[in-house]
Chains A and B, each alone.
Chain A
Amino acid sequence: MSFIDHGKKQLRGNIREYGMYIALFVIVVGFSIATDGVFISSRNIVNLVNQTGYIAVLAVGMTLVIVIRHIDLSVGYLSGFLGAVAAIAMVSWDLPVSATIPLVLGLGILAGLLSGFLVAKMEIPAFVATLAGWLGYRGALQLSTRGTGTIIIPDDAFNAIGNGFVPDIPGIGILPGVHHLTLILGFLGIVLFLVSEINARRKLQGYESEILPMEMFILKLVFVTALVGGITWILAGYQGLSWTAVVVLIVIIVYQFITTKTVLGRHIYAVGGNPEAAELSGISVKRLTYAVFGSMGMLSALSGILFASRLRSATTTAGQLFELDAIAAAFVGGVSAAGGVGKVVGSLIGAFVMSSLSSGMNLMGMDISYQYIVRATVLAAAVIFDVATRKRE
């Protein structure tokens, strides 16, 4: 059967990308069955989204850092420290939320530029430079929470970012008890996806080898539509979109746009693919390094805000191990350690794969020690898979 043959060939060509979606699908279905549907319940899905948010934004930034062949180990404690700064700004300095958030994001950019300076200008290996950051921000976090211990954040608006939901459009009679705005957004998302996929396919027509066979194409559209539709329905049946989900969506849309449509994005991937070639083409590798680390710092600040808001407080251990979760998410999502390869959407999926695993294992009451081992196996498998498929090409 030529359809299956063709499909197989296509699958093999894009196995890295599809593998991730398949893994997510298997995890979701597996845990849903194993937990009698608790995993797929509205409450758990909302929790999952809000828990993944602060790692997902880090993973997006980390993707670009790894694409340009660096690494940033400082992001976890930077996130924790900046979360504490946000708490102190509101509690001790009496700053309003509207001033606190820009302040913290700005500090994040500065911290990122400092890493960028060490890497680009002083030519210190990123691993070492950001390990210093890891130590430094850890110290700073402990200093800033030493007097008070955990800092409770009393501001409702701030805490809504990690716990609240987007209000619905008032006065719609049909489908009572369902979050209409969420449904509308989900519907628009699906339409946008379908239109862009169909347009992209039309543009590719004529390059035989690159194009999915029609049946596979339809299968893909149906799969994604069902996935997005399902999640939308689940969320709409509960309290709708959480603010965290909105923040993550905005970050993903902005970064997806920058990486695929702008000169900046093109240059980031060029530097990752061949730094010498990029430099000889007149691209400033230094400037890009600053930009990528600056963005990483800003996203660390955002992660800190999301996490502090979710806990309604800043704690001494905030941000611990976030960097490793973000790096794992990026690698599971298809980023290559060799540089030049990796998509922000992939890393988002990677983050969801890892946190779905944790969530599902928690629901099943699995011993935390085994949880680490399972996650280690998944990470290793993803990278081995990646290296193996790359070699075959």
Chain B
Amino acid sequence: MGRSVTIPVCPLWIRGFVTAPITPIFLTAEKGISMNSVAVGTAVVELRNINKSFGAVQALRGVDLVLRHNEVLGLVGDNAAGKSTLMKVLSGAYIPEEGDIFIEGKKTHFASPMDARRQGIEMVYQDFALANNLDVAANVFLGREAVRTQLGPIAVMDNRRMEVEAQKLLNRLKIDISSVRLKVERLSGGQRQAVAIARATAFDAKVIIMDEPTAALSVAAIGKVLDLVRELKALGSSIIIISHRLEDIYRVSDRMIVLRHGLKVSDTPVEGDIHEFRERVVAYIVGARDDFGGRAAADKRQEA
């Protein structure tokens, strides 16, 4: 674990559809090497004091979160802890009542998912958020279609280019789907998840958020998704992954945050052996431990 691996940050992806040459970087992303090495770097995302309510339900009560460059951050917590809500705040789907978002140190405001996508923040939603009636290429490029010609308000798509680029993307991520012309409704759960992830990485994504990417998958498919996470990290992305499966978090994350009842209760590196790790995390999840209890209570007193 003491081994540090230098992984060059690769700007890549399809910048304006010009594909970067495939680098042999994949090869360094071996299992276990990048794992658990705490990435040192500046914050790519910082959330401060995020508050979000739904009617009487206070889903988030002043949560702070920092994601560093090229880091995989695990986000865990019991059902209804506020994990998805926090990530939807970061992806622009929800607007918090209170709190600030900083991207690369600059204060930002997201009014819609498009705003966040423009700043390189992509989210893979829990239910995949794919249009099942469209094919793989159409889903990968949904909302950002390649345009061939603009006839006044009518934009004519460049289907050929989208298909070629989508295929390249699948190859790069080693996703096994026979054709990008297949409709998503004909894919397996694992393949759909792969398409959703591919879609999130198609455009220069700085940050990729995955909400329960392994929840609905078979064991074999889970392994593939976790490989995908490692690959993305090796390619230079910063990733936040939500999961109920602690071993998934353990296998891919550098650091882990635990939420409980809309508050952050733990923020620690992922280390030690899996049993010790699991015991520690469960203690946080069920409320037996709380590293920020004092502060959270103090903040609440201040508010009142």
Contacts and interface: CB of A to CB of B under 8 A. Distances in A.
A266 interface: yes
Interface string A338-354: 00110000000000000
A264 B151 CA distance: 12
A209 B123 CA distance: 32
B11 to A, nearest CB: 23
Closest 7 A/B residue pairs (Cβ): A281-B143, A282-B114, A273-B131, A273-B133, A340-B133, A277-B129, A282-B143
B80 interface: no
B157 A274 contact: no
Given A210-B181, A280-B93, A283-B143, A274 B129 contact: yes
Given A207-B178, A262-B156, A263-B157, A278 B133 contact: no
A207 B181 contact: yes
Main secondary structure of the interface of A (DSSP, over half): helix
28 contacts: A209-B178, A258-B154, A261-B157, A261-B159, A263-B147, A264-B155, A266-B142, A266-B145, A269-B134, A270-B131, A272-B133, A273-B131, A273-B134, A274-B129, A274-B131, A277-B128, A277-B129, A277-B131, A278-B142, A279-B113, A281-B129, A282-B117, A282-B144, A283-B142, A283-B143, A340-B132, A340-B133, A393-B186
B179 interface: yes
B113 A274 contact: no
A186 to B, nearest CB: 27
B163 to A, nearest CB: 9
Interface string A232-272: 00000000000000000000000000100111101101101
A315 B60 CA distance: 62
Interface residues of A, number: 27
Contacts of B145: 263, 266
Nearest to B154: A262
A151 B42 CA distance: 77
B257 to A, nearest CB: 23
Interface residues of B, number: 31
Contacts of B130: 274, 277
Contacts of A341: 133
Interface in B276-303: none
Nearest to A207: B179
B134 A280 contact: no
A270 B145 CA distance: 12
A276 B129 contact: yes
Contacts of B156: 261-263
B53 interface: no
Contacts of A274: 129-133
Contacts of B133: 269, 272-274, 340-341
Contacts of A207: 178-179, 181
Nearest to A270: B131
B112 interface: yes
Interface string A200-217: 000010010110000000
A393 B186 CA distance: 8
B138 interface: yes
A340 B185 CA distance: 12
Interface in B17-35: none
B250 interface: no
Contacts of B114: 282
B13 interface: no
Nearest to A341: B133
A140 to B, nearest CB: 30
Contacts of B186: 393
Nearest to B116: A282
Given A204-B181, A210-B179, 16 more contacts: A210-B181, A258-B154, A261-B156, A261-B157, A262-B155, A262-B157, A264-B155, A274-B129, A277-B129, A280-B91, A280-B113, A281-B144, A282-B112, A282-B113, A341-B133, A393-B186
Contacts of A279: 113
A280 B112 CA distance: 8
A266 B138 contact: yes
Contacts of A262: 154-157
Given A282-B113, A341-B133, A277 B142 contact: yes
Nearest to B146: A263
A274 B183 CA distance: 14
A273 B144 CA distance: 17
Interface in B137-192: 138, 142-145, 147, 154-157, 159, 178-179, 181, 185-186
B181 A273 contact: no
A224 to B, nearest CB: 22
A325 B231 CA distance: 55
A263 B162 CA distance: 12
